[in-house]
Amino acid sequence: MTRRGKMQRVLMLVGLYLMLLMGSATAGTISVMGTATLEQIPDQVLVRLQVVKTATTATQAKSAADESVTAILDSVRGLGLADNQIDAADLRLSPRYDYQNRVRTYIGIEASRQIVLILKDPTLLAPLLDKVVSAGADEVQGVNWHFSQLKSLQHQARIAALKDARKQAQELAAVYGAKLGEVERIDTVNQASPMPQLRMAMADESAGYQAPTQQISVQVWVEFELD
């Protein structure tokens, strides 16, 4: 065996010895799943509206739609909505036809505009809907509840889930007379976003729109060393 070959063999044996030594000195590990759920009431409402107008020409249809949108925006500004809470830039123009007896008859041009409103005071939802319908909204396409501080709430839930994981690991380690060591690995298993839904409550002659309590859930997988 050459000198170089002997050196490689020695290095290989030394490396194997170190691996065995490290393996025998490495403590065991324990893995647990921590969970946490926060229950909160959304503090913002996103309302989607649509205005649809049909006229002989595109200019006439657009003018009619613009007039209704202007009236709607004037009405909601009376509730304190700022410009950054309003998006009304959408416009679509398309021909309309009537089909009878397999005959296509041209009706005119349809102009549609979508309006998106962000309401930071959910208690104003009912009067807002009354105003926009009275002002000329043809469709209320959706009412969705949101959290203005969703990332902060998810962070709180994540911290609570990590604390839950540590508590579980400590309890399990104590059963075997071991102590919890350093964290080896953390994985976020699930971070579910809330699914807002509209719930309408009728009381006497008034209609109120209430945001249901939403759950923000987080699951984490944590691996600890055992000392």
Inform me whether the pLDDT recorded for 14 exceeds 50.
no
Inform me whether the pLDDT recorded for 94 exceeds 90.
yes
In order of start, what are the domains of the chain with their CATH numbers?
26-41+150-226 (3.30.110.170), 44-146 (3.30.70.2970)
Tens digits of per-residue pLDDT, 197-224? 444 443 333 456 777 788 899 999 999 9
What is the Cα–Cα distance from 195 to 216, expressed in whole angstroms? 9
28-56 mean pLDDT: 93
Residue 176: per-residue pLDDT: 82
Tens digits of per-residue pLDDT, 116-167? 999 999 889 999 999 999 999 999 999 988 899 999 999 999 999 999 999 9
Threshold 0.85, pTM exceeds: no
Instruction: Give the burial class of 203: count Cβ atoms within 10 A of its Cβ; 0-12 exposed, 13-18 middle, 19 or more buried.
Output: exposed
Say if residues 161 and 35 touch (Cβ distance below 8 Å): yes
Quick one: the chain helix, strand, coil %, rounded to 5?
40, 40, 20
Q: What are 179's two structure tokens?
A: 């102590």
What is the Cα–Cα distance from 130 to 116, expressed in whole angstroms? 16
